Homo-oligomer: A and B are copies of this chain.
Amino acid sequence: MSAPIIKIDGISKSFGTFKVLDGLSMQVMPREKLALIGPSGSGKTTILRILMTLERIDSGHIQIDGEQLYHMERNGQLLPADERHLARMRQKIGMVFQLFNLFPHKSVIDNVTLAPILTKGIPRAAAEKRAMELLDMVGMADKAKAMPAQLSGGQKQRVAIARALALQPRIMLFDEVTSALDPELVEEVLNVLWRLCSETDMTMLLVTHEMGFAHDFADRVLFFDRGKIVEEGKPDEIFRNPKQERTQGFLKKIIAAGHRV
């Protein structure tokens, strides 16, 4: 068995006096598809944002692909990471946001090519060719010249996925990528995720409220509550036969609210 690609080791994170994560540890294997579920405010988004280096951690260690994320070695000493180290580490990770965060002043194709051209120095023509392949994959090739404002939510989200893929990260983070969408648009995006999941060997972490999707998609499900992993396991175990009371309660509520599991 190979080494974990993400290794989180006793990390803590507070906002002001409020402790969101308290000594959390977890590991993710290469090519694993991981679903993170749990009630609102339990810290799911925070974990993804920490991995994307959008938030700093207060203590603990994270290793990505065998390398420290927030620390770097210099002459045998472990120092806090500088911006250069972080930038290098970020190349391995991509993220798709709940609210898409497309660049509104750039066309669809420019959104996808901007980072490869700027950060990898890929020539524009090559970048655009690759971008068109990605847009084709997410079914947005015909909208390459459109501006984000002209797209529906589901279309925006698909472009956002293509944009993240363009940097060819080894790990992709998805944060409730369907929850800002109308029910009918959710399908479009889930379809793209299905394809991605079956066709690539990226490691994927997915925060979602779509229990049905989490069930079918994930190799492993983590149930979070108050910054702790309450329960984890194969989707069938978690959804059909949750062991913890908290998990049972959560799933019951979700079902009562009309969601299919």
Contacts and interface: CB of A to CB of B under 8 A. Distances in A.
Contacts of A39: 184
A209 B190 CA distance: 19
Interface string A181-205: 0111011001000000000000000
A259 B256 contact: no
Contact of A184 (B40, B184, B186): B40
Contacts of A183: 40, 209, 253-254, 257, 259
Interface in A91-142: none
Interface stretch (A53-61, A160-168, A210-218): A210-218
A258 interface: yes
A175 to B, nearest CB: 15
Nearest to A249: B184
A136 B213 CA distance: 38
Contacts of A145: none
Interface of A: 39-40, 182-184, 186-187, 190, 209-213, 250, 253-260
19 contacts: A39-B184, A40-B182, A40-B183, A40-B184, A183-B253, A183-B254, A183-B259, A184-B250, A184-B254, A184-B257, A186-B258, A187-B253, A187-B256, A187-B257, A211-B258, A212-B258, A213-B258, A255-B260, A258-B259
A258 B256 contact: no
A184 B187 CA distance: 22
A167 to B, nearest CB: 29
Given A183-B253, A187-B253, A210 B258 contact: yes
Contacts of A260: 255, 258-260
A184 B190 CA distance: 22
A38 to B, nearest CB: 10
Contacts of A253: 183-184, 187
